[in-house]
Amino acid sequence: MTDGDAAGVVREACSLLRSRATSMDAVDVLVVSLGSTGGLRAADTELADSLRRAGVSVVVARALPPRAVRTLTLTDLSWALAARRAARAELARRTPRAVIYSTVTAALFWPRSGAIRFDAPSAGNRPGRHGLWQRPLERLRLRQAPLLLPYSDGALRELRGGVSHVDRALVLPVAIQASGPLAVNRDIAAITYAANPAKKGIDRVLDTWKRVGRPSEELVVAGITLEELKRSGLELPRDGVRVTGMLAPGEYRALLRRARVFVCAPRREDYGQAQLEALADGCRLVTTPAPGPYAALPIARALDPRLVSEDLGAALRVALDDPAPDYAARAGEALGSFRRDSVDHLIAKELLPRLLS
């Protein structure tokens, strides 16, 4: 082999290595996942999987949980900085064609502009001192974002000056799917999800169960430990209540398939993902009417208005003692636009052309 031939081989090898490195570094979509709750983590996983089914490459940058702090303002600051670190680390490794920030908090200190997906804006769920610094920065980021992806029409309406955002917005719900075959015989009377107990109104649920629960019936409280409930100042009724702690998604959804009723009394609801999952798994939804872009609320009212009431005890007894016929089947139909195939179609036909253009 001559020196010229050897040089040619080296040039070809270097070119091939550069090409491989470029293909490894390039990605279509980077999802910056805050993941501060189980619901957000599930939503981000669904989003990434749906994008991949549409034929694009996806990388998820997950924020590492910061240490716990005492106030919402500091909590948001800690998580926003964690999301920035995760995004910067991934952007140092690869060059995405587009970035999606999951939640406004994840976008507050973004290192690169991108689409923002959110269940509710800080303007709605961080009133007064709780959103002192978040709200003005949120308004700036929402103006700068090339695309807004609210979970629901209600979330879009909560934006200040929401009309000006409509041309940059695409309502993109979280895909909600039944987790398995619906059980005919259900041995759990009622179940609730208690993460963030004050916001979810778990005190009201426990109070109601103490008044109207019967000795033969069981209420399952998921998403929180007994110690966390006690630290929140809550006392459990002596009998008929089981606290599970935080469960793996499959274990939790298996409990939903065994429960007759999902009961909740939120003081505000930003979306209602737990309620939508319960409906998908055949539970009857008993809820108080709560402020916020509560996507499950109009569905619950349409299915059985008796089960949506400030009188939670009366609604719960109706659900257990006098259930409306074909509730689960009608709930399945009502969730049509939330099904995975519907969200996949929306992502492939409407999101990607706008996201990657």
Count of domains forming the chain: 2
CA–CA separation, 228 vs 245, rounded Å? 9
Contact criterion met (CB below 8 Å) for 239 and 215: yes
User: pLDDT for 224-257, tens place per residue?
Assistant: 999 999 888 888 777 899 999 999 999 999 999 9
Task: Answer yes or no: is pLDDT of 262 > 60.
Answer: yes
Say if residue 301 is in the same domain as residue 346: no
Domain around 81: 27-175+339-355
CA–CA separation, 66 vs 352, rounded Å? 32
Contacts of 339 (CB under 8 A, 6+ apart): 175, 176, 177
Say if residue 322 is in the same domain as residue 236: yes
- The model's confidence at residue 163, banded by pLDDT at 50, 70 and 90, is very low
Say if residue 163 is in the same domain as residue 290: no
Residue range 285-296: average pLDDT? 96
Beta-sheet strand order (sheet of 148-150): 58-62, 26-33, 95-102, 115-118, 148-150
More confident residue, 340 or 6: 340
CA angle 314, 318, 319 (to 5 degrees): 120
Task: Answer yes or no: is pLDDT of 159 > 90.
Answer: no
In a domain, 17, yes or no: no
Tell me the whole-structure pTM to 2 decimals. 0.88
Say if residue 114 is in the same domain as residue 223: no
For residue 146, the tally of other CB atoms under 10 A from its CB is 14
pLDDT of residue 24: 53
Say if residue 141 is in the same domain as residue 193: no
Say if residue 118 is in the same domain as residue 228: no
Contact criterion met (CB below 8 Å) for 117 and 34: no
In a domain, 331, yes or no: yes
Please name every residue paired with 259 in a beta bridge, in sequence order, or none if there are none: 188
In a domain, 67, yes or no: yes
> Which has the closest alpha carbon to 221: 241, 238, 237?
241
Say if residue 203 is in the same domain as residue 171: no
pLDDT of residue 136: 87
